[in-house]
Structure 1
Amino acid sequence: MNKLFLALAILLPVLAIGQKKEKPAPKVYNLIIGGYTNAQGGKGITVYRFYAETGRTAYLGEIEAQNPTYLTVSPDGKFVYASSETREGSVSAFSFDYVSGSLKFINKQLTAGANPVHVTIDKDAKNVVASNYGGTMSVLPVNKDGSLGPASQTIKGEGKGAHPQRQTGPHIHSLTFSPDEKYALYADLGADKITIAKYKANKVPAISPEDEVVEKVKPGSGPRHMEFSPNGKFLYLVNELGGTINAYSYSKGKLNLVDSLNMSAPEFTGNAGADIHLTPDGRFLYASNRGTANELLAYAVDPVSGKLTYLQRYPTPTEPRNFVIEPGGRFLILAAQKGNLVQIYKIDKGNGALVAQNNAISIAAPTVLKLVSAE
């Protein structure tokens, strides 16, 4: 008996050391805001401090940039990359001091396509990928100092869709990496498809067209943005033109449609689905709908099937675009472009309900938000 107790006394501390404790979400963030800088727009990229325990904000500063309508942040939080949505598309690199919230321009590179509307970076910070609404997608290598090299690969989209005005040719709208980053999935709004290709960060070209898989969506849907569930088993897609959400099961580069829902009320026409995100625990999904709807929709997620159950729709300021969910699951922060506001919502973790807070940020034409730990 004494030997058993002795064995347990030795083993239990070892087991305790082996257990991984979940790191708590930060209490303080930097909220980075991008948007349009035309006559009705702002100066460029603006940074606020965001306090996750209260939802309060404080202005830190801004830097000039041309139409930085989409942003991505390096995994270590030290660099910000901004797409410039212009006819001669480009991506700019900035160093970022997460303590002070200050940005400094490093360099920029052309995206080999017009109007880049989405930009993302892989987890090893090897490449930034820009999706051009003009129909191409470019891979930009990231140097050790955070600067960008010239495009190492450019992919030209192919095909068209059913919409007579919006789908006369390809419009690549976003790229999402699979959770293991072995695959790159990119949504083509103009050709009604998701293309799935193998991805190797250290290889040139990084995105392999060999053995690519194409997942077609309902004609006229216009796929826009995607997000994987936290467990990586499901992928959710918001369709801009059709105003619908598709839910897929996912495994090793293959998608299987399990659900599709209409975002709008039966009497509404003129859908304009914009963005889609899940809470960190994967229990709730939210999507923004523009057009004349101007709303956020909330859904419950079935953890086994991945299917969605509609919960509630919430009115928003005009033209809700991109939004972020604070990593602790406490707040949802929304950019409303034509409302010239960044609206903050408190999330009820029990039922997913949203409550608008009374401390919206007034800012011209915001379109994209990123949260970076300030701790």
Structure 2
Amino acid sequence: MKITSKLLLLFSILLMSCSTSKNNTYLVGTYTENKSQGINIIDFNEASKVISLQKVVNEIENPSFVITNKAKTIVVAVEETASTIGGKVTSFSYDSKSSTFKKINSQFTLGDHPCTVAFSSNEKFVLVGNYSGGNLSVFPIDATGKLSEANQTITFQGKSSNAQRQEKPHVHCIVFHPTDNKIAVADLGRDAIDVIPFDEKAPLFLIENKIISTKVPAGSGPRHLIFNSKGNRLYATFELTNEVAIFDYSDDKLQLLKTLSLTKIPTQNGSAAEVRLSDDEQFLYASVRGNDNQLVVIQLNDGKNAKVIQSISTGTSPRNFIISNNQKSILVANQFSNSIIVFDRNKKTGLLTPTSSESELTINQPVYFYPF
């Protein structure tokens, strides 16, 4: 009887563990059309592939990009808007026991249309990139989630060859290096990727006089970035030419190793968007909007021998997407289809296959996922 009881207890624990691991929760950034819309909180069941809407944090305008602190107690979102003093960055507290959000405060970003946001490693600063403003602002944030006014703003200068899209700087992405005290910033307007060191103990977080700027091919339009876990590779989407670029990163320098076309027809006014890396770092995924509306799968090999192995249709305007915790699914946010859809992912081959229409959720203009 004792052995049986122990076995039953162990079986129950295993069942609970498996059940918990099947659920992925995400914050979904959106564009809004009324006050009832905002940040969506969704659950994704890895076994059934069903997506369910849990909550909407409303009365926030265009919360396109949203993040949390490590403890998941503070949520920060940009409000992708414009004014005489820029868009906004807004913070919320989250109580997991009651599953409730409470707005803390907002600050103006000092640049129009903020479209990227990140916590510093020690979570004492929030960094915001302003697309139309062409600048980068740093906001001190305290342990309760209260944002102070920006104490540092770096304004970039320059333009590039595409007169319609690159008439001035357009900051589009901020990522932290996994081991070094540096950030990488993609500037679509200047055709530049800037590596900026930081000092978390200094009054000003970013060390502006030590920026190292790497120019990419004219007219490329770098949009989104991701480092590998070692930090010696950087992957970027080139929005305007519908390409993915692979860079070597060493000694504070970026060296372009290879570019791969994401579409069959070359273009100078493309719409490549997000880039993601599988956990085993063998496969890279990129989304393309516009006329193509697809996800592209890249087998990385050693980088120099990377190749496209699949293109698969999505909904209209696939902006952001995310790979599930078990690496067996990809959720895609289709902005103009107002939908989130799911693809099955083969972990060994990296290839994708569509799931049933039951694995679809209607959300107004979803554009970003963040694990919650």
When normalised by structure 1's length, the TM-score is 0.88
- 3-state SS, counterpart of residue 342 of structure 1: strand
2:361 equivalent in structure 1: 361
Aligned position for 1:105: 103
Per the alignment, in what secondary structure is the counterpart of residue 190 of structure 1? coil
Give the counterpart letter for 2:154 in structure 1: I
Given residue 46 of structure 1, which amino acid in structure 2 is its aligned partner?
N
Alignment of 1:238 onto 2:237: yes
Indicate if the aligned counterparts of 2:258 and 2:303 stay in contact, CA closer than 8 A: no
- 1:16 matched residue in structure 2: none
Aligned residue in 2 for 1:295: 294
Paired residues of 2:242 and 2:267 also in contact (CA < 8 A)? no
Asked if residue 85 in structure 1 is aligned to residue 83 in structure 2, the reply is no
Q: 1:306 deviation in Å?
A: 5.8
> How many percent of aligned residue pairs carry the same amino acid?
31
| Separation of aligned partners in 1, 2:320 and 2:347 | 21
Contact 2:158 2:169 in 1 (8 A): yes
Query: C-alpha offsets along residues 303-348 of structure 1, whole Å, 9 cap, x if unaligned?
Result: x446521110010100010111123312211111001001111211
Which consecutive residues of structure 1, in runs of 5 or more, have no partner in the other structure?
A: 1-23
Amino acid at match of 2:364: A
| 1:96 maps to 2:94 | yes
Identify the residue that residue 9 of structure 1 maps to in structure 2. Answer: none
Q: Helix, strand or coil: the match of 1:96?
A: strand
Counterparts of residues 1-375 of structure 1 (less than 5 Å): 26-38=21-33, 43-64=37-58, 65-87=60-82, 88-98=86-96, 101-133=99-131, 134-266=133-265, 270-302=269-301, 304-305=302-303, 307-358=305-356, 359-372=359-372
Do the aligned partners of residues 47 and 161 (structure 1) sit closer, same or farther apart at CA in structure 2, a change above 3 Å counting? same
Q: Is the 8 A contact 1:142 1:149 kept in 2?
A: yes
Distance 1:27-1:142 versus aligned 2 partners, 3 A rule: farther
Give, in whole Å, the separation in 2 of the partners of 1:320 and 1:42.
Answer: 23
**What whole-Å deviation, never above 9, does each CA across 1:275-328 have from its counterpart, x for those lacking one?**
0000111111100001111000001112x4465211100101000101111233
The list of structure 1 runs, each at least 4 consecutive aligned residues, that deviate by more than 4 angstroms after superposition, is 98-101, 267-270
Task: Note the residue ranges of structure 2 that are not aligned, 5 or more in a row.
Answer: 1-17
**Is 2:173–2:186's contact at 8 Å kept on the other side of the alignment?**
yes
SS at match of 1:207: coil
The one-letter code sitting in structure 1 at the alignment partner of 2:369 is L
Distance 1:231 1:102 in 2: 37
* Paired residues of 1:78 and 1:95 also in contact (CA < 8 A): yes
Please give the alpha-carbon distance, in whole angstroms, between the structure 1 residues aligned to 2:369 and 2:93: 17
Structure 1 residues 42 and 275, CA, compared in 2 at 3 Å: closer, same or farther?
A: farther
Q: CA 1:231 to 1:327, structure 2 compared with 1: closer, same or farther past 3 Å?
A: farther
Q: Indicate if the aligned counterparts of 1:136 and 1:154 stay in contact, CA closer than 8 A.
A: yes
DSSP 3-state at the match of 1:210: helix
Q: State how far apart, in whole Å, the 1-side matches of 2:314 and 2:254 are.
A: 32
- How many equivalent pairs are there? 348
Contact 2:246 2:259 in 1 (8 A): yes
State the distance in 2 between where 1:197 and 1:173 align.
15
**1:114 positional shift:** 0.5
Task: Tell me if structure 1 keeps the 8 A contact 2:219–2:268.
Answer: no
1:153 Cα deviation from its structure 2 partner: 0.7
Partner Cα separation in structure 1 for residue 172 and residue 200 of structure 2: 21
RMSD of the alignment, in Å?
2.1
Which one-letter code corresponds to 2:313 in the other structure? Answer: P
